[in-house]
Amino acid sequence: MQIEQLIRDNADLLSLPEVCLQIQLLADDPEAGREDFAHIIIQDPAFTAQLLKRVNSAAYGLPSRVDTVSRAVGLVGINELRKLALAMAAVEVFRGQPLQGYDMLTFWRHGVFVALVAQGLARQAGVLHAERLFIAGLLHDIGHLVMFTRMPHACVRLGPAVLAHAEDLCEQERALLGWDHAALGGALLRHWQLPEELCLAAACHHAPLGLEQGARETALVALANQVAHAVEQQPGPAAGAEHDPYTRFIEIEDAAPVLAALGHVPRELWRQAGVGPAAVPGCLQQAGGEFDALLELLYGF
């Protein structure tokens, strides 16, 4: 089955709420103001309730309770609202869908960490609207969720390679399906009408070098993914101790093993991203500090 047909055949299940699409479009309008966003959001009471619930969570740490959408937009900002709305909607699209041999929480834990690191690297690189890289990082592997929810036969053959982050994973996928999860993810983000640079970041994060469009965004997501894998592969502490790899490296001096594991990353990729390895410890520190609250914000509700 071709990618386009797969998305067409499952369009109802794989579509974002209309309110989310309208938020994305309005966010690109320089004339749009707080009340314009509030007017769109309140048309969907369920989405409004979920949005306010998240804005009032510990992740934002606001001094008083927010009970109107207009005030929420004013406090968190339009760009943050856009990021939150899209992340919320993406999680909800797949919530409750059956998975075979693949854990949804494991998927989103990896995605949230890549998102935080990608956003941090983007800020270090001086990228305008670095929060866009959060979305690109969060959704970089979204093609796997489509495969594992809509193509159960692929789960049986590819599940072990996905879980092991096999180096030849994309080759295995292309041999079986004719395309890989990255291409499928890019196509889904186009279906969701995301900016092309973010679609390319998903589609090309396993082959990021030499792009003409979206080169920096793709490189930043590819690097963040490499950082996440390096963190995940670090040995845990002594037996019996609690161990969460994503929050383990919040002390700058603890990042040396992760940097060593990134030694294979081509210099050209760092150059394309506009950032160097020296940025990684600070990104790990910030990502580790924000990880638990953000995971709860997106997945725990």
pLDDT digits (tens, 9 = 90+) for 266-283: 999 999 999 999 999 999
Other C-beta atoms closer than 10 Å to the C-beta of 160 total: 12
Residues 6 or more apart whose Cβ sits within 8 Å of residue 227: 114, 117, 258, 262, 280, 283, 284
How would residue 58 be classed by pLDDT, with cut points 50, 70 and 90? confident
Q: Could you state, in order of their start, the residue ranges of all structural domains in the chain?
A: 3-299
Residues 6 or more apart whose Cβ sits within 8 Å of residue 253: none
Alpha-carbon separation of residue 27 from 24, 84, 85, 137, 298 (angstroms): 5, 12, 11, 19, 21
Mean pLDDT of 7-13: 90
Instruction: List the single range of 42-51, 56-65, 87-96, 231-240 with lowest mean pLDDT.
Output: 231-240
Fold of 3-299: Hypothetical protein af1432 (1.10.3210)
Instruction: List the single range of 72-81, 128-137, 193-202 with lowest mean pLDDT.
Output: 72-81
Residues in the chain: 301
The span from the CA of 92 to the CA of 221, in Å, is 23
Average pLDDT over the chain, rounded to an integer: 89
| pLDDT at residue number 240 | 44
How would residue 60 be classed by pLDDT, with cut points 50, 70 and 90? confident
Placement of tokens 């950032």 in the chain: 275
Residues 66/54, Cβ–Cβ less than 8 Å: no
How would residue 78 be classed by pLDDT, with cut points 50, 70 and 90? confident
Residues 88/51, Cβ–Cβ less than 8 Å: yes
pLDDT digits (tens, 9 = 90+) for 218-241: 999 999 999 999 999 888 664 444
Q: Is the dihedral of CA 276, 282, 288, 294 positive or negative?
A: negative
pLDDT digits (tens, 9 = 90+) for 126-141: 998 899 999 999 999 9
